[in-house]
Chains A and B, each alone.
Chain A
Amino acid sequence: MERIGKISSIVTPLDRPNIDTDQIVPKQFLKLVQRTGFGKFLFYDWRFEPNGTPKKEFVLNDPKYTSSHILVTGENFGCGSSREHAAWALKDYGFDAIIAPSFADIFYNNCFKNAILPISLDKKLSADIAKSNSVVGIDLKSQTITYDDKTIHFEIEPSRKKTLLEGLDDIAITLQYESDISDFEKAHRL
């Protein structure tokens, strides 16, 4: 997996709470059998009119944000369906980090499998960053965000941090414990 260390770009503000994965990738796009190419479906019903023309007022359609790699959004981001397509779409579109007051659990977990850094920050701070008009810098190693001449710290669980910094393959790690799994299986039968 790709490594994630430093990210710097302007931020895309999307101020809505409870954005669900049906919004992130509507289900009509879940029929592909690959992992790639979902970026064009990201926030589809918010981005496009029914006839396919872009909706001017939607933030992702503002040319100012085309080079943004950081999404700042509302609480409980990624709730609803477990579809990893949501993470694939965000990554494929170009987002490497998402800042929100809170995340839904399955989505949060899916981020780490796809080289996306989810950062939970308190409501006020994330709203403050959302307002920033200049480049915001995220450094995973030092767990800091720099914006508007301020530097703040964020929390992340150490093994999760390691996964992103080193681009680790979870399955390969688990398979190193093959004999523990076999022992467990012998003792536990159901």
Chain B
Amino acid sequence: MAQTLFEKIWDSHKVIEINGRTLVYIDRHLVHEVTSPQAFDGLRINKRKVRRPDLTFATMDHNVPTSNRSLPIIDQISATQIQTLEKNCQEFGIKLFDLHSQYQGIVHVIGPELGITMPGTTIVCGDSHTSTHGAFGAFALGIGTSDVEHVLATQCLVLDKPKTFEVEVTGKRKNTHAITAKDIILSIIKKIGTGGGNGTVIEYRGDTIADLSMDERMTICNMSIEGGARAGLVAPDEKTFDYLKSRKYTPKNYDDLVENWRKNLKTDQGAKFDKSFTLDASNIAPQVSWGTNPAMTADVTGSVPDPAEFAGGDQSQENAAKNALEYMDLKPGTLITDIKIDRVFIGSCTNARLQDLIEAASIIKGNKVSPGVRAMVVPGSQQVKKAAEELGLDKLFKEANFEWRESGCSMCLGMNPDVLARGERCASTSNRNFEGRQGAGGRTHLVSPIMASAAAIAGHFVDVRELV
């Protein structure tokens, strides 16, 4: 029978059915400092071992400082969490890319970069943006700490089979520098809503997706969770195979694997999805979020909506939009380009890979960050940082008065010292504009990297189609 790509991966990882649920084998487990300590504790209490330390990889990213790494960590509780991970990895024999490793970085940036992520595999991590790895045709999903413990102990997960959701993106983008993968995924979430993908695995399809680079596909898959999906994936193709070819952990029999993947890892003709949605990318504009969830987004040429109009008759949505505007201190009708910003954050597992930094840097030459704005660039990993420096991007950014920092999650969630002050307004390339996400009382506008750097220079949002 014709099958979708997801169904093929699912079937090939089924170990057994238990009480109507499926025991699914996990090929790769990524671990970080925030969601793992309680899981390792659970193992110790129950005298259990890590079943496959060789399939488990750890790094520290969520609360690491992005300033000078030779200095000790000032926040004692963060320091404890980092030491706890070191201790746990040592005790259980897990490979760790620590603060001083040349491979340290955001877990979803280093997985693909090191060739830990592979097509057709199952990948989990105690982090919702694990969906990022789906860009390589893997079934990659975020899990809670109890499931982290479950995977450590058994290398399996008990799951109910998700439904399948086809998101087709067609049409040529008018301007591939100004209209980015971020604008595509924000446009999708705006339409399907933050719960639109609940219970499903999205497969992104269509010629627009095929045209995207691997970095761009990762941006799309990354935000699947913002549309509520369990995971998002893209069928692997030659770009995928080239990307993973000679990475640190690329398997020795890679060419044989590729041959097999080329034949099998795609949705069969005539396979049925449970749900479908189509987006025409030829007429989308750069997106800017105005509210407190990623579906509350407008075209840069538009304005802050009226809550009643936005909700279309749904009372609780209307209240939510009113709350959002109050929190964001915005008035209906305000032009997006009239919104002034205080901070800029270019970083996160959504948009801190090399291509993102190249795009952000492309418009800054000869310009300076607007007086009164503080702008930070936080590369997704040490490898990204190094590659960017080889291209001289660090100099470009620094000359324009952007801060150039060490890799980590940083102000995407503000667990380290990089936070917004109460009331500060930020143009951010991250994925969540939730209340307080980047700092209690801070206000986040989600945008693409090039939109963020343009806003840094202008001091307010601008339509980058006028610049590139």
Contact surface of A with B, Cβ cutoff 8 Å = 15-18, 20, 22-23, 26-28, 30-35, 45, 50, 74-76, 79-84, 87, 102, 104-106, 109-110, 113-114, 157-159, 162, 170-171, 173-175, 177, 180-181, 184-185, 188, 190
Assembly CA distance A27 to B63 (angstroms)? 10
A84 to chain B, nearest CB (A): 4
Assembly CA distance A27 to B78 (angstroms)? 12
B247 at the interface (CB under 8 A from A): no
Q: Are B34 and A30 in contact (CB under 8 A)?
A: yes
By a CB distance below 8 angstroms, the chain B residues around A83 are 34-35, 144-145
Q: Are B436 and A22 in contact (CB under 8 A)?
A: yes
Q: Are A171 and B150 in contact (CB under 8 A)?
A: yes
Q: Are B156 and A181 in contact (CB under 8 A)?
A: yes
Assembly CA distance A184 to B157 (angstroms)? 14
Q: Are B144 and A159 in contact (CB under 8 A)?
A: no
Contact surface of B with A, Cβ cutoff 8 Å = 12-13, 15-16, 18-21, 23, 25, 27, 34-35, 37-38, 41-42, 46, 48, 51, 62-63, 75, 77-78, 80-81, 84, 118, 120-121, 126-128, 142-147, 149-150, 153-156, 158, 160, 162, 194-195, 198-199, 225, 228, 230, 251, 257, 293, 316-317, 319-320, 323, 413-415, 422, 432, 434-437, 440-441
Q: Are A113 and B154 in contact (CB under 8 A)?
A: no
Partner of A181, one of B20, B25, B160, B257: B25
Q: Are A109 and B63 in contact (CB under 8 A)?
A: no
By a CB distance below 8 angstroms, the chain A residues around B435 are 22-23, 45
By a CB distance below 8 angstroms, the chain B residues around A159 are 18-21
By a CB distance below 8 angstroms, the chain A residues around B251 are 190
Assembly CA distance A171 to B149 (angstroms)? 8
Q: Are B16 and A180 in contact (CB under 8 A)?
A: yes
User: Contacts A30-B415, A105-B198: A18 and B293 contacting too (C-beta < 8 A)?
Assistant: yes
Most B CB contacts (10 A, CB to CB) among A15, A17, A18, A23 go to: A18
Q: Are B81 and A82 in contact (CB under 8 A)?
A: no
Q: Are A33 and B432 in contact (CB under 8 A)?
A: no
Assembly CA distance A162 to B293 (angstroms)? 35
Q: Are B15 and A177 in contact (CB under 8 A)?
A: yes
Q: Are A171 and B48 in contact (CB under 8 A)?
A: yes
A-B contact pairs, 6 of them (CB 8 A): A74-B316, A81-B413, A82-B143, A84-B145, A105-B198, A174-B150
Q: Are A110 and B195 in contact (CB under 8 A)?
A: no
User: Contacts A82-B144, A113-B144, A113-B147: A174 and B35 contacting too (C-beta < 8 A)?
Assistant: no
Further contacts, 12 of them, CB under 8 A, given A23-B436, A113-B144, A177-B23: A31-B415, A34-B41, A50-B440, A79-B194, A79-B293, A81-B128, A82-B143, A87-B144, A113-B147, A158-B19, A171-B150, A174-B18
Q: Are A104 and B146 in contact (CB under 8 A)?
A: no
Partner of B293, one of A20, A35, A180: A20
By a CB distance below 8 angstroms, the chain B residues around A177 are 15-16, 18, 23
Assembly CA distance A157 to B18 (angstroms)? 13
By a CB distance below 8 angstroms, the chain B residues around A158 are 19-20
Q: Are A33 and B147 in contact (CB under 8 A)?
A: no
Partner of B19, one of A106, A113, A162: A162
By a CB distance below 8 angstroms, the chain B residues around A18 are 194-195, 293, 320
By a CB distance below 8 angstroms, the chain A residues around B317 are 17
User: Contacts A75-B195, A106-B128, A181-B15: A174 and B434 contacting too (C-beta < 8 A)?
Assistant: no
User: Contacts A18-B195, A26-B440, A27-B414: A174 and B146 contacting too (C-beta < 8 A)?
Assistant: no
Q: Are A34 and B38 in contact (CB under 8 A)?
A: yes
Assembly CA distance A26 to B63 (angstroms)? 14
User: Contacts A45-B435, A159-B18: A82 and B126 contacting too (C-beta < 8 A)?
Assistant: yes
Assembly CA distance A34 to B45 (angstroms)? 13
B14 to chain A, nearest CB (A): 9
Assembly CA distance A20 to B437 (angstroms)? 10
User: Contacts A175-B153, A181-B155, A190-B121: A76 and B15 contacting too (C-beta < 8 A)?
Assistant: no
User: Contacts A110-B144, A170-B150, A177-B15: A31 and B78 contacting too (C-beta < 8 A)?
Assistant: yes
B179 to chain A, nearest CB (A): 26
User: Contacts A104-B198, A106-B142, A113-B144: A50 and B434 contacting too (C-beta < 8 A)?
Assistant: no
A152 to chain B, nearest CB (A): 21
Partner of B23, one of A20, A80, A102, A174: A174
Partner of A84, one of B81, B144, B225: B144
B128 to chain A, nearest CB (A): 4
A125 to chain B, nearest CB (A): 15
B126 to chain A, nearest CB (A): 6
Q: Are A33 and B84 in contact (CB under 8 A)?
A: yes
Q: Are A157 and B38 in contact (CB under 8 A)?
A: no
Q: Are B155 and A50 in contact (CB under 8 A)?
A: no
